[in-house]
């Protein structure tokens, strides 16, 4: 189909332009053939890997699929109000002395009349783990990143050592480090804090030094010409440029760390993850739903809060320039 119309559209062109046009159309045909081949290869690979995963599984995916709905059907609380009671540690009318309906015994009393519900207290523990880990991780990543930037320390030994340290720190998932540390530090939030902090340093450090390597070096040159020392140049020429990005990445990391500390709870890191694992393992539907709802609300709240904070700290001006740059 191409040749007939192509000759027609080329009638108005000069010989050199017509040659370019022919060349372009040839390239276009080649590109289409390659695209088609790529799509076919991708689909075959996708099908093969899904098939492999299915056969490696103990049960077949499509055969087991209906049981998902069975689980959801059987895993319902006695009444919707049970979820609220579980969430706020109110006594249950179904109470029979078993753990399933015992919501009240783990209240955390602040004064004689005022208590924090158990799950909310555990949630505070989880968020607290994430916050402490993010703050410590930010400080250490901030101090390290300048020593990993080629534009500030060159490509020598310092950069190599600092980058390898960061790589080791982020090589292991938090959950692996936490599992290891719970064996040493015993079960509890301290192991979780250390594990998340280590990973945060590695992950933020890498993001940070990449930001630093992209800065405009002219302010740095300006300060070098005034006789400023290396530390002073970093403080006044580099930090003002990178701080908005650092804040942005740190808030993103805070969101990730809340999720991470939840998961670590399930392997003995304390907090909401641990009570979630117990609730679902013991088949306590009302408690499980209460925790899921609390987690959802927390994650959404943390996301909203951090984007609000990011706007406040960095300012509209930065967002505008960032938008203009895209």
* Rounded least distance, CB 72 to another protein, Å: 53
Closer by beta carbon to another protein, 82 or else 220: 220
Exactly one of 222, 305, 319, 322 binds another protein (CB under 8 A); that residue is 222
Exactly one of 190, 219, 277, 293 binds another protein (CB under 8 A); that residue is 219
- Contact residues for 93 (Cβ-Cβ < 8 A; gap 6+): none
Report helix, strand or coil for 108. Answer: strand
- Contact residues for 174 (Cβ-Cβ < 8 A; gap 6+): 195, 196, 198, 199, 260, 263, 264
Residues in the chain: 326
Q: Say whether residue 247 binds another protein (CB under 8 A).
A: no
Q: Say whether residue 156 binds another protein (CB under 8 A).
A: no
* Rounded least distance, CB 219 to another protein, Å: 4
End-to-end Cα separation, the chain, in angstroms? 38
* Rounded least distance, CB 213 to another protein, Å: 18
* Rounded least distance, CB 254 to another protein, Å: 23
DSSP state of 225: T
Q: Say whether residue 224 binds another protein (CB under 8 A).
A: yes
Closer by beta carbon to another protein, 231 or else 325: 231
Exactly one of 210, 241, 255, 280 binds another protein (CB under 8 A); that residue is 241
Number of residues that bind another protein (CB under 8 A): 18
Which DSSP string corresponds to 246-295? Answer: HHHHHHHHHHHHHHHHHHHIIIII-SHHHHHHHHHHTT-HHHHHHHHHHH
Binding site for another protein (CB under 8 A): 218-219, 221-229, 231-232, 235-237, 240-241
């Amino acid at each position: 189909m191409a040749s007939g119309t192509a000759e027609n559209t080329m009638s108005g062109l000069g010989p050199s332009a017509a040659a370019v046009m022919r060349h372009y159309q040839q390239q276009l045909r080649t590109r289409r053939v390659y695209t088609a081949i790529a799509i076919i290869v991708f689909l075959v690979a996708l099908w093969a890997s899904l098939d492999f995963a299915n056969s490696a599984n103990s049960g077949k995916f499509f055969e087991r699929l209906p049981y998902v709905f069975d689980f959801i059907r059987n895993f319902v609380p006695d009444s919707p109000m049970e979820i609220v009671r579980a969430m706020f540690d109110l006594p249950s009318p179904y109470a029979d002395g078993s753990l399933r309906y015992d919501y009240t015994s783990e209240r955390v009393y602040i004064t004689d009349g005022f208590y924090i519900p158990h799950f909310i207290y555990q949630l505070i523990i989880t968020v607290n783990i994430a916050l402490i880990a993010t703050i410590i991780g930010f400080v250490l990543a901030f101090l390290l990143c300048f020593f990993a930037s080629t534009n500030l320390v060159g490509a020598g030994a310092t950069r190599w050592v600092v980058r390898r340290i960061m790589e080791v720190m982020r090589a292991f998932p938090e959950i692996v480090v936490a599992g290891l540390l719970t064996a040493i530090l015993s079960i509890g939030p301290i192991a979780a804090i250390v594990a998340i902090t280590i990973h945060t340093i590695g992950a933020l450090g890498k993001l940070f030094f990449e930001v630093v390597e992209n800065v405009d070096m002219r302010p740095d040159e300006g300060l070098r010409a005034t006789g400023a020392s290396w530390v002073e140049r970093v403080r006044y020429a580099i930090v003002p440029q990178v701080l908005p990005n650092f804040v942005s990445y740190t808030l993103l990391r805070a969101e990730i760390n809340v999720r991470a500390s939840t998961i670590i709870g399930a392997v003995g890191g304390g907090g909401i993850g641990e009570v979630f694992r117990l609730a679902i393992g013991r088949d306590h539907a009302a408690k499980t739903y209460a925790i899921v709802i609390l987690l959802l609300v927390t994650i959404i709240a943390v996301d909203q809060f951090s984007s609000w904070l990011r706007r406040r700290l960095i300012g509209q001006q930065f967002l505008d320039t960032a938008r203009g740059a895209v």
